[in-house]
Structure 1
């Protein structure tokens, strides 16, 4: 993983074969002091795709009862990674295709780069956000 910062607050993250996606984005946020920002674009290929998604409308308090976890191996073409960074913590979603199916959901740790990855982070100055538990234990953005 290597990251590059522009004069106007954009951080480009290059991910190489074997790099871990979320972990590398978290490291880039630390390296470039990204407190509040957005992952505005991301592409690449993953050999491991770990995501979760909500498959219920009743939203029980226990999050483990409302999420479906997928741990998928193979060649995954990633068409988008995006989300918000609050208090230095990325909350990201991903869409990927393996030739037969398209899946999407919340990006989890353990996603490994197959060929390459390219992520663009935009720092947002003058705004400090964090996530706080809200209704039904859903994490919500709030000013810090």
Structure 2
């Protein structure tokens, strides 16, 4: 993995075979001190794809009862990764294709780079954000008190 920062605050991240996507993005955010930001672009290939998605409209109180977890192996062409960094923590979504099906959802740990990964993070200054659970235990983006 390697990251490069432009004068305007954009951080470009190169992930290599065997790197883990979410874990690496977290590391770059910590190393580059990105508290609030936007992942504006993400492409590459994964050899393992771990995601979850919400498959219900009634939103049970327990998050485990709301989500479907997928742990998929094989060659996955990643067509998009984007999301928000709040309080240094990335919340990312992914769309990927394996030649037969397209899947999408919330990017989880353990997504291993197959050939390459390229991501762009836009740092945002002056807006401290975090996620807090609401009354339905849904993690919501909110301004952080400083």
Q: Note whether the superposition's TM-score is higher than 0.5.
A: yes
Relative to the length of structure 1, the TM-score reads 0.99
Distance 1:56 1:130 in 2: 25
Deviation at 1:84, TM superposition (A): 0.4
- The corresponding residue for 2:44 is 44
Deviation at 1:53, TM superposition (A): 0.1
- The corresponding residue for 2:118 is 118
Q: Secondary structure at the match of 2:60?
A: coil
- The corresponding residue for 1:82 is 82
- The corresponding residue for 2:92 is 92
2:25 paired with 1:25: yes
Distance 2:112 2:74 in 1: 10
Distance 1:118 1:57 in 2: 34
Deviation at 1:135, TM superposition (A): 3.1
Q: Secondary structure at the match of 2:80?
A: strand
Structure 1 residue ranges without an equivalent (≥5): none
Structure 2 residue ranges without an equivalent (≥5): none
RMSD (Å) for aligned C-alpha atoms: 0.4
- The corresponding residue for 1:34 is 34
Relative to the length of structure 2, the TM-score reads 0.98
Distance 1:48 1:21 in 2: 10
Moved over 2 A (4+): none
Aligned residues: 144
- The corresponding residue for 2:68 is 68
- The corresponding residue for 1:59 is 59
